[in-house]
Amino acid sequence: AYLHTRKILSIKSMAKNVECWTELQEIYEPDADHAGSGNLFEHLLEILRLEPYRNCAIQGLALSAGGLGDSVSQTAVGAMVKSVNEGGDSMLLTVAWELQAILARNAGVSRVVIPVMRTIDFLFSKAGLIDSGDVKLFEALLAEAWGSTRGCRDIVLLQVALSLIANLTYAKDPVFTASFYKLIASLVNRYPKIRRCAAEHLYMRIISFEEEEEEKFDVDRATELVTEVSWDTGAAAAIKTARLDLFACFGMEPPKK
């Protein structure tokens, strides 16, 4: 794609039909002898600063960054993190909102949703999104993550969605309560692996509670339930009872169903 774009940009008569022609010439250098070297993701990050192409660039980076952990994924992650770090909160939020929009446009399309959610996870873990985002953004992300789990039979998608929801539990209220509630609700998912996944995320969040949170909730009982109940292999009745107890530990009303 990079080489084909350079060829197009080398056709001078195309200038009037291509937005940001001058900026693209500087980025792709179509008249240079070399064809690009090193990390092309970093080389092309300048495109994120061009409004007409930003959304497509973000989606392309996300689909690469959220891959299966190969070298391409790692390179794309590094490039995206570098871009948002250099661009500050403004760039970080621009990228995050566009990723949310991609999720909304592609609801139910696993091949897009999975890598995009993984990329959002990277923004939490490597770019400090939890400190830069606001309630509106986090609620929008939570809605997409939770919505993707309804009726879902894709184990990988369910795992990725739970990971995103778990990241959102580190936000302040009302996002904390809403996302934490959904993790507890997931403990009765039809798939044993997903129930175990939800329990593990809950455990990691519970042991990270600050002192004021420990005083507010029944943390000791919650920790006991999360660690001692066999969420993946236990009897359905025992799992449902333990989940009800967990809701009570955090002063939450369980779902009616």
Q: What is the pLDDT of residue 147?
A: 97
Do 67 and 73 meet the contact criterion of CB atoms below 8 Å apart?
Answer: yes
C-alpha atoms less than 13 angstroms from C-alpha of 233 in its C-beta half-sphere: 2
Digits of tens for pLDDT over the chain (257 positions)? 778 888 888 999 999 999 999 988 888 887 777 655 556 676 667 888 888 888 888 888 888 877 766 677 877 888 888 888 888 999 999 999 999 999 999 999 999 999 999 999 999 999 999 999 999 999 999 999 999 999 999 999 999 999 999 999 999 999 999 999 999 999 999 999 999 999 999 999 999 999 888 899 999 999 999 999 999 999 999 999 999 999 999 999 998 86
- Using left for φ > 0, alpha for ψ between -120 and 50, and beta otherwise, residue 219 falls in alpha
Structure tokens at 192: 């044993």
Cβ burial of 187 (10 Å; 0-12, 13-18, 19+) is buried
Helix residue ranges, H only, the chain: 2-9, 21-28, 40-43, 51-65, 71-105, 110-127, 129-132, 135-147, 155-168, 175-185, 192-206, 211-216, 219-228, 236-249
Cβ burial of 190 (10 Å; 0-12, 13-18, 19+) is exposed
Do 162 and 148 meet the contact criterion of CB atoms below 8 Å apart?
Answer: no
CB neighbours of 212 closer than 8 A, spacing ≥ 6?
none
Q: What is the pLDDT of residue 32?
A: 77
Sign (positive/negative) of CA torsion 241, 246, 252, 254?
negative
pTM for this structure? 0.88
CB neighbours of 252 closer than 8 A, spacing ≥ 6?
177, 181, 184
Do 175 and 139 meet the contact criterion of CB atoms below 8 Å apart?
Answer: yes
